[in-house]
Amino acid sequence: MTLQQQIRSNRLRTAFVVLAFAVLIVVFAAASAVFVGRPGAIGLLAFGLAYGLFAWWNAGRMIGGLTHAAPLQKSDDPELYRLIENVSIAAGLPATPPIYLVDDQAPNAFAAGSRPSTIYVGVTSGLRRLMPARELEAVLAHEISHIRNKDVRLMTLAAVLVGVIAMISDFAFRMAFFGGRGSRDRNPVQLIAAVVALILAPVAAMMLQMALSRRREFLADASAAAILNDPEAMALALRRLQLDTSEIAYADRATAHLFIESPTRAVKGPGAFLSGLFQTHPPLEDRIAALEEAGGFRLEPLPGAA
């Protein structure tokens, strides 16, 4: 798959996610008309579509809030900015995206934003501390590749639109099974909530699955290696992520797919109901192996690995 093909496929997937969200909101509003009447349903529809537009406009900031990322000034860390400027130039991006810092010891990085002017690269303080410049550059190149491939727009949109559907479904699921004082006195509201959860959850999962391409991480790794002309740096960076076992604090299922490495081994909290349905990232070993094959080198085997 070439870069152009990936960009085309991402455009298609983006259109699909937006369409699916719109259809889902319309169906949901129509179904709820039975309970809240026609004016209520129209209100719900208007709210849903307004939310969609709002999300499209503010997606970057919303994800910044979810992940607790704060803008980093160039004067705060000139060296990091130099690296990202060089990578952006080498990738041929028209402008260097700003860096946001997530105060977290777990090394990880992501890119978010729905429009070119709002796109940024998020880096955890753990990554900044742990990685030598060569590997840090590779991680930044990986994120810049996601931006260039138009992965970021799709992933961001999936995070905020699918996120709200997953939220409704989680909420309904809890109401259905944990809402009452005991499982014996279930009322009709709980039953309806259960049905809503059971219908919405797979739909949300399907949308996310549609949006996610397992190829995207391999492709971003390969693009990063090509941008830097250094596949080994990318592989070393992934190996370092693999060796680190700490987990980032503010990542849930809605944002998990944005990160360079799956931010949680097992997603906890409200998203747990769905997390088993699919993996957001291909295993790091596979990604390292792909780089080793492309670059014609081998990293030393992991200590303790048989």
Give the helix/strand (H/E) hosting 122: strand 120-124
When asked if residue 125 is in the footprint of another protein (CB under 8 A), the reply is no
The verdict on whether 143 is a catalytic residue reads: yes
Mask of contacts with another protein, 132-171, x by CB under 8 A?
-x--------------------------------------
Of the candidate spans 62-70, 77-85, 101-109, 216-224, the one that interacts with another protein by CB under 8 A turns out to be 77-85
d(C-alpha 164, C-alpha 62), whole Å: 12
| Residues 2 to 61 in contact with another protein, rule: CB under 8 A | none
H-only helix segments in the chain? 3-67, 78-91, 125-130, 133-148, 151-157, 163-178, 188-211, 215-228, 231-243, 253-256, 272-275, 284-295
When asked if residue 215 is in the footprint of another protein (CB under 8 A), the reply is no
Cβ 139 to another protein shortest distance, Å: 16
Count of residues touching another protein (by CB under 8 A):
14
Cβ 141 to another protein shortest distance, Å: 10
Residue 306, token pair as written in the block: 């048989």
CA distances from 263 to 123, 158, 182, 230, 246 (A): 12, 17, 35, 25, 9
How many other β-carbons are positioned within 10 Å of the β-carbon of residue 299?
Answer: 14
Mask of contacts with another protein, 84-113, x by CB under 8 A?
-xxx-xxxx-x-------------------
CB 106 within 8 A of CB 244: yes
**Active site positions, annotated:** 143
Given the rule CB under 8 A, which residues bind another protein? 79, 82, 85-87, 89-92, 94, 133, 226-227, 229
